[in-house]
Amino acid sequence: MRWGRWLAVSTASLVGVVVLAAGTVCVTSGCSSIGYLLQSAQGHVSLITSARPVGDVIADAQTSAALKERLALTQRLRDYAVSELKLPDNHSYRSYADLKRPAAVWNVVAAPELSLKLRTWCFPIVGCVGYRGYYALDTAEAAAQPLREEGLEVAVYPVPAYSTLGKTEWLGGDPLLNTFVQWPEGELARLIFHELAHQVAYAPGDTSFNEAFATSVERLGGERWLSTHASQQARDQYATLNSRREDMRAMVNRTRQALDALYKSSLDDDGKRARKAELMAALRAEYAQAKAERWHGYAGYDLFFEKLNNASLGVQAAYFGLVPAFEALFEREGHDFPRFYAAVKALAKQPRAERDAAIKALLPPGQAVPDATPEQGAASEPS
């Protein structure tokens, strides 16, 4: 989930609910939460009120042929998500909004100089999460500055979509957005399947669990769609994109594991800083080599590597660290999506310690459960 929201019956009542919720958060987490929650409410209201039913957009003579084609594809993907992947059959991704900007939100994440553990913030409903989302880049950058002044390493990155966990169905659900609708077919399929998966199961305060589950569904569903419904051209395009993605994740994961071991070692801080610099430089050099020799100059990851730090590496761990466990669970449940979802829902209801133990038992030998977020209720927002 890129960020969760909850709404009331109208814009006015929505803001009232958020202010009331913020009052509770203010007691334990600092009154700066009120302003943050208000911008979240207002930003989401603006997003959903700009959405129109897909059928209306396609029928509109002002809509380009290219957009009509993409929207038609999204509806085939949406139908497939229900019929084959057994994802929720509701209003989500049945409407479209052009936000006139390149991202739905910009997330801010932060981590200490010598740790990969993300700073977290705790809120009603969603629990504790390792990021804060903002609807404008300048607002996100302004929010990042105090974290940098604390000495934290900070990353600000664009997010093309987020899930409201199915809480806004009466308002039309989560809309398709201009920020991703023109993506290649395989990437578009994965995003839709990922965001719908967040409506199936959600463990408050456990980012690693939630994101890895949704990522496993996007992978499983994306592969099935491509193999049965996509053209050879779309499959080839996806294969190229995915090969680069897996290559990049592998090199990043190796460095992240080395850094995690370094930060937990008995080496003094100066020694850790020196070794950290070596590892970061080696990763950038490995990326440059891959870009030149294997990726034919593909520059899609340049920004990530230009701003490489503990925060950006921590986010990677939160999204992908537990995916092998969910893939193993899918195997155990006989490749049956309803049984798989039932098992995940049961895990989500367990106390954090029991859930972590069950997930660890599903992981390959030697792979640890990522320590990306604390248990629910461990408020850690700066005041």
Q: What is the pLDDT of residues 8-51, one digit of tens each?
A: 223 333 443 343 333 333 333 344 567 788 888 888 888 988 99
Under a CB-based contact definition with an 8 Å cutoff, are residues 238 and 292 in contact?
A: no
d(CA 316, CA 323): 12
- Residue ranges of alpha helices (H) inside the chain are 11-29, 32-49, 54-59, 65-83, 137-149, 185-197, 207-229, 232-263, 269-293, 302-306, 310-320, 323-332, 337-349, 352-362
- Residue 126, pLDDT score: 65
Q: What angle do CA 222, 226, 227 make, to 5 degrees?
A: 115
Structural contact between residues 191 and 163, judged by C-beta atoms closer than 8 angstroms: no
The number of residues making up the chain comes to: 383
Contact 169, 119 (CB under 8 A): no
87 vs 114: CA distance, rounded Å: 40
What parts of the chain have a pLDDT lower than 50? 1-31, 372-383
Cα separation, 376 vs 373, in Å, equals 9
Task: Please tell me the distance from the alpha carbon of residue 319 to that of residue 212, in angstroms, as a whole number.
Answer: 5
Domain definitions of the chain by residue range: 11-183
Give Cα separations from 42 to 48, 140, 207 (angstroms).
10, 15, 24
β-partners of residue 97 are 177
The strand pairing partners of 52, in sequence order, are 96
Angle between helices 352-362 and 323-332 (to 10 degrees): 70
CA distance 87 to 341: 9
Nearest-angstrom CA–CA distance, 25 and 28: 6
Between CA 176 and CA 95 the distance in angstroms is: 6
Decide: 194 and 159 in contact? Cβ < 8 Å: no
In this structure, are strands 95-97 and 176-177 parallel, antiparallel, or unpaired?
Answer: parallel
How do beta strands 153-159 and 105-111 pair?
antiparallel
pLDDT of residue 124: 67
Rounded-to-integer distance, Cα 224 and Cα 93, Å:
20
Which of 242, 238, 212, 217 has its CA nearest to residue 227? Answer: 238
* Per-residue confidence (pLDDT) for residue 21, from 0 to 100: 36
Radius of gyration of the CA atoms of the chain, in A: 21
Contact 326, 212 (CB under 8 A): yes
88 by Cβ neighbours in 10 Å (0-12 / 13-18 / 19+) ranks as middle
